[in-house]
Amino acid sequence: MKLKTKSSVKKRFRFTATGLIKMGQCGKRHNMRKRCDRMLRNARGMSLMHPSDAKKVSSFYFHV
């Protein structure tokens, strides 16, 4: 039986060529009035996931 990749992992994460996991920053969906400008600037783009969390995510993605 083939193992299927979790659809949520495909949508939320990207993998680099060296095997690291890139993810979007959290906290930017709504309530921007409460966020300071510095936080919004720092939360742009993608960031690399910590290796301890990456183990959990990579267990759902079998094609890496």
Q: What is the pLDDT of residue 17?
A: 92
Q: Could you tell me how far CA 64 lies from the centroid of its own chain?
A: 15
Fold of 7-58: Factor Xa Inhibitor (4.10.410)
Q: Domain limits of the chain? A: 7-58
pTM of the model: 0.77
Q: How confident is the model at residue 64 (pLDDT cuts 50, 70, 90)?
A: low
Residue 5, phi-psi category: left (phi > 0), alpha (psi -120 to 50), beta (remainder): beta
pLDDT at 2 over 90: no
- What pLDDT, in 10s, does the model give residues 10-61? 999 999 999 899 999 999 999 999 999 999 999 999 999 999 999 999 899 8
Q: How far is CA 15 from CA 6, 10, 20, 25, in A?
A: 14, 10, 6, 15
Q: Residue 63: what pLDDT?
A: 73
